[in-house]
């Protein structure tokens, strides 16, 4: 098989990266994608750095064994824990990560306060701390670790009372703060965008890094001469460490939100 025709590997701790996959298939409709979600070990955001590093490296190397031409680490937590190491180990493989979209939110003309929602591990890591510090002069960047939120999404609590109760408690301290932007710094969170909007209770812009990641993937494939030349539609394949989640993967891939 020509190198250009090989699939693009996709990885997340579970279902979240499907929100990024959707942006990538929309931008690159002729590419094949092979998505692996590690739902057995989700949530990653509440594990140790070493554990997330090991799980991520193992998953990416399994995708490489299946012949992928590039890899998207569609998980903010795994990106912050392992991307530097992965690039060191595999310097010839295009590896695209994702990080909270703090920059566009902080630089928006009407933005003075930006609330960044992410997993505890993402927020604790150096990579995020540096990112937040770089934009703290342009906006008040408030970091909000959301312990348990990715797990609720994995369990399918998207728009029910369990999700509402969780978000009401989470947002309580911000009831009287002015916040113009919420940044979704975890790929599971776009699936609960309407619940977030409803429970935040005030008009707010909500942004995530999916489109930026898709554009970055396209640029890197172009630069490496790896864009598919086929005209036919590409194919999406899901794999999961909990095989019973495959149906759920397709459901989320096709969900309108
Ligand atoms: N979806 C992942 C992220 O973007 C992590 C969720 C989790 O497993 O904690 O950070």
Domains and CATH numbers, the chain: 3-98+210-253 (3.40.50.1860), 102-208 (3.40.50.1860)
Q: Specify the ligand 1 atom closest to the Cα of 45.
A: 9
Q: What is the pLDDT of residue 138?
A: 92
Q: 178: how many CB neighbours lie within 10 A of its CB?
A: 10
Hey, what are 121's tokens? 């591990």
Q: What is the mean pLDDT of residues 131-141?
A: 95
C-alpha 194 chain-centroid distance = 17
16 CA from centroid of ligand 1 (Å): 7
Show the DSSP H helices in the chain as ranges: 18-27, 49-65, 76-89, 102-107, 120-124, 126-134, 149-154, 161-171, 193-200, 210-223, 246-254
Which residues fall within 8 angstroms of residue 68, CB to CB, at 6 or more apart?
6, 7, 8, 9, 34
Mean of per-residue pLDDT scores for the chain: 96
Gap between the terminal Cα atoms of the chain:
36
* pTM, full prediction: 0.96
Decide which of 54 and 1 is more confident.
54
- Is residue 110 scored above 80 in pLDDT? no
- Is residue 36 scored above 90 in pLDDT? yes
Written as one string, the DSSP assignment of 93-116 is: S-EE-----HHHHHHSTT-SEEEE
Q: What is the pLDDT of residue 177?
A: 86
Q: Mutation test of ligand 1: which of 45, 55, 116, 120 has the most ligand atoms closer than 8 Å to its C-beta?
A: 45
Q: Which residues form ligand 1's pocket by a CB distance below 6 Å?
A: 12-14, 16, 42-45, 75-77, 119, 122, 150, 186-188
- Rg of the chain over Cα atoms, rounded to whole angstroms, equals 18
């Amino acid at each position: 098989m020509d190198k250009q025709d090989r699939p693009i590997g996709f990885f997340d701790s579970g279902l979240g990266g499907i929100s990024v996959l959707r942006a990538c298939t929309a931008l690159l409709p002729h590419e094949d994608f092979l998505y692996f979600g590690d739902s057995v070990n989700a949530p990653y955001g509440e594990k140790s750095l070493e554990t997330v590093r090991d799980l991520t490296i193992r998953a990416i190397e399994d995708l490489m064994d299946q012949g992928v031409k590039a890899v998207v680490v569609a998980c903010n937590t795994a990106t912050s824990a392992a991307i530097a190491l992965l690039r060191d180990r595999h310097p010839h493989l295009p590896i695209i990560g994702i990080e909270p979209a703090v920059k566009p939110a902080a630089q928006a003309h009407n933005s003075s306060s930006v609330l960044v929602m992410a997993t505890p591990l993402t927020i604790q890591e150096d990579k995020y701390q540096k990112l937040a510090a770089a934009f703290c002069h342009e906006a008040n960047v408030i970091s909000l670790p959301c312990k348990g939120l990715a797990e609720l999404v994995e369990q399918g609590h998207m728009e029910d009372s369990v999700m509402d109760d969780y978000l009401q408690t989470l947002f309580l301290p911000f009831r009287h703060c002015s916040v113009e932007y919420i940044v979704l710094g975890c790929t599971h969170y776009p699936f609960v965008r309407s619940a977030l909007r409803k429970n935040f209770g005030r008009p707010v812009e909500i942004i995530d890094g999916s489109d930026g990641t898709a554009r970055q993937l396209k640029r890197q494939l172009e630069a490496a001469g790896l864009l598919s030349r086929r005209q036919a539609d590409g194919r999406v394949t899901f794999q999961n460490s909990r095989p019973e989640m495959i149906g759920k993967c397709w459901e989320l891939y096709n969900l309108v939100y």
